[in-house]
Structure formats: structure tokens, C-alpha cells
Amino acid sequence: MTKEEIEQLLQKIEDLKAQKLQDVEDIRVKFLGKKGEITKMFEEFRSVLPEQKKEFGQKLNLLKTKAAERIEVLRQGFENVQIAGCEKFDFTKPGDKFELGTRHPISLAREEILDIFGKFGYAVAEGPEIEDDWHVFTALNFPPDHPARDMQDTFFINPDSNDPILLRTHTSSVQVRTMERMPLPIRVVCPGRVFRNEAISARAHCIFHQVEGLYIDKNVSFADLKQAILLFVREMFGPDTQIRMRPSYFPFTEPSTEVDISCNICGGKGCNICKGTGWLEIMGAGMVDPNVLEASHIDSTKYTGFAFGMGIERIAMLKWQVNDLRHYFENDVRFLREFQSVI
């Protein structure tokens, strides 16, 4: 027996591992049993020279104590497992599968739209879903007899009141709230849920989502609007996307336009998605009507601005070729799983 042998054995003991309770008992026998390695060393101790007895004795006692401690630690490990009632637990069994959640395509599209405009310096503004007539219609230059003010189109919460409260029909209401609140210049995108009294079909729903955009500053021009939309659609639908603007009418913008993008499915050649035209409508836009600026106390002789509004469902439909609006609301996991790879 040498000092090195004792040291080596000490190291070996520190590293001992057991897979099951029986292993602990085997270890005890191997080292501390009647014919165990440590027991044998104690027998050899008798023939150690008297002047070395003290040193060897201390080392052997340490070895024995450490071995007993290590064995106890290993034993306790199994006792804990038994207490927890899982002594029959099969650690080699493959784990239970669990479903990985996915983000809803509307959330994905909304985040992407906001990210793109975020890069252009647009802040995000939000407003209430339950609104008053002023913010949804009057301040946006809707004439008193406009059909959108009709119950056929708008959900009124208090239909008989002279002070109508309603579910907003568009996020343009947040434009008004932003103009009332924020210092100029303003550059915001306003995402949110909107409500319209419409029959549910593949192309229409009574609840959907929009993102409104608003930019007001000195000398903002229609060219700025065109450029902002072009940059946006190229980020969203790919660098080769073209835009086309058709004259249109909205009470809150003058001039107004409807914006189309070149069909991202057929590349503009004409297919059944773009109905053979090569173009897909994606948003309404225009220069903010001076009446709208003045209604929110912005001097329309000094400031101009542009606004645009798009349906998130529509953007997501075009981007991922979803052919029925109802898929977004039915939460069929087979549909939602399709977007796992988009995240």
C-alpha cells in the first residue's frame, strides 16, 4: 500500500455513480465490505512502519469517512426518488409530445406592417374600439347623411341617443385622436380591430383589423405618399412589386386614391387571384382633407399630410394566399399550423 494508492482510491470514490439502488449496495461491498478495497488497506496498515503509521492512519481514516459519505449521498438520491413516488420512472422513455403554439397570421401580418413603418420612423398609436360619432365620422368630414352613419353599416351601442356611441368602423378614428393629442409633426401607424354590420362570407366579416397611417408636417406632398407606399409594399411583398393608384373618394382625404399592387402570384400576367387584371387592391389613401386638419385644430395653411388605411386580413390573404376570410376566425389548428414556419 502506497500513499498514491490511497489518493487514487479517494479520487475514484468521489467520482462514483449509481444507476439504481442495488448499485449503491454493490459499491458499499466493493469498498467497505469484509473483503472490500478499503477494508483490505486497513489490514495492510498493520505492517506499516511505526514512523509512518500516523500519516497513513490519517489518510486511511479520511478515505473511509469519504467513502461512507459518498455512499450515503448516492443512497439518499434514490430515497428522494422513492419519496416522490416515481421509483418506477423510466428515465430512458421518450418525452410526451406537446404542441408548439404558433402566432396567429393576423398578428404576424400586423407585426410585420408595424415593423416596416417603424423602420421609416412611424410611431404606433392606438385608440378605443368603442367610439363616439365625432372621432369616427364628424371630425373626419363625413356629411350628416353619409350611409356609413346608417345602422345598416355601423353597430350603435345607443341607437336612440342624440349622442351616438358606436363600435368604430375604421381605425381612421385614431387619426383624429392622434391629431388632437400629439405635437406636430405626426408620423404614426394605428393598428386595431374594427366592426361593421356585414353578413359573414369568404370576403367580408363583421369584425376585422386595419392599420391606419398618418403623416402630417410642413410640405408633405402626394409624392411623399406614393414613395411611402411603394417602400412599404416592396418590403411586404417583395422588391419587384409595382403599385398603381386609381382615383377614388373618401370624405377625409382630397385627393383620394385606391392603391393596387402588381399581383404577387402571377407577377402581373393575370390569374384567378387577380381576376385576370394583374393587380390587387390593398389600401385606400390620400392627402388629409383640410377640413379634417381644421377639425383637430391644425392650421391647414401651414400643414399638409397624407393618410392611408389597409385591412390586415386582406394583406395577410394576399401575402399567404388565404382564400377565405373565415379561416382567420375559426381557429382550426390545421390552418394555424400552416404559419409555424413564418414565425
Integer Cα distance of 42 and 55 in angstroms: 13
Q: Among 109, 113, 186, 285, which residue interacts with ligand DAH (rule: CB under 6 A)?
A: 285
Q: Map the footprint of ligand DAH across residues 51-110, applying CB under 6 A.
A: none
Min dist CB 307 to ligand DAH, Å, is 3
Min dist CB 283 to ligand DAH, Å, is 7
Binding of ligand DAH by 286 (CB under 6 A): yes
Q: Which residue is nearest to ligand DAH (CB)?
A: 309
Contact between 315 and 236 under an 8 Å Cβ cutoff? The reply is yes
Q: Segment near ligand DAH (CB under 6 A), from 19-27, 129-137, 292-300, 306-314?
A: 306-314
CA 225 to chain CA centroid, Å, is: 29
Binding of ligand DAH by 307 (CB under 6 A): yes
Amino acid code (one letter) for 25: E
Binding of ligand DAH by 305 (CB under 6 A): no
Q: Segment near ligand DAH (CB under 6 A), from 100-108, 236-244, 305-313, 328-336?
A: 305-313
Q: Among 131, 133, 212, 289, which residue interacts with ligand DAH (rule: CB under 6 A)?
A: 212
Q: Segment near ligand DAH (CB under 6 A), from 124-132, 155-163, 284-292, 296-304?
A: 284-292
Residues 309-328, mask of contacts with ligand DAH (x by CB under 6 A): x-------------------
Min dist CB 117 to ligand DAH, Å, is 13
Q: Map the footprint of ligand DAH across residues 169-208, applying CB under 6 A.
A: 170, 172
Give the total of residues touching ligand DAH (CB under 6 A).
Answer: 11
Integer Cα distance of 215 and 125 in angstroms: 12
Residues 249-268, mask of contacts with ligand DAH (x by CB under 6 A): -x--x---------------
Contact between 173 and 127 under an 8 Å Cβ cutoff? The reply is yes
User: Which of 282, 196, 213 minimizes the C-alpha distance to 245?
Assistant: 282
Q: Segment near ligand DAH (CB under 6 A), from 9-17, 36-44, 280-288, 328-336?
A: 280-288
- CA atoms within a 13 Å half-sphere pointing along the CA-CB vector of 105: 28
Strand ranges for the chain from DSSP E: 123-124, 130-132, 165-167, 186-195, 207-217, 243-250, 253-262, 279-288, 304-311
Apex 247 CA angle, 244 and 252, nearest 5: 115
Q: Between the CA of residue 135 and those of 10, 85, 155, 172, 208, what are the distances in Å?
A: 81, 63, 15, 8, 19
> For the chain, what's the residue count?
343
Q: Among 237, 303, 308, 328, which residue interacts with ligand DAH (rule: CB under 6 A)?
A: 308
At 247 the three-state DSSP class reads: strand
Residues 101-140, mask of contacts with ligand DAH (x by CB under 6 A): ----------------------------------------
Q: Among 41, 284, 316, 328, which residue interacts with ligand DAH (rule: CB under 6 A)?
A: 284
- Please state, as a whole number, how many other Cβ atoms lie within 10 Å of the Cβ of residue 274: 21
Min dist CB 272 to ligand DAH, Å, is 25
Contact between 113 and 323 under an 8 Å Cβ cutoff? The reply is no
Q: Segment near ligand DAH (CB under 6 A), from 39-47, 60-68, 183-191, 279-287?
A: 279-287
In order, the DSSP letters of 151-217 are TTTS-BSSTT-SS-EEE-SSTHHHHHHHHHHSPSSEEEEEEEEEE------SS--SEEEEEEEEEEE
Integer Cα distance of 54 and 60 in angstroms: 10
Min dist CB 140 to ligand DAH, Å, is 8
Interface residues with ligand DAH (CB under 6 A)? Answer: 170, 172, 212, 250, 253, 284-286, 307-309
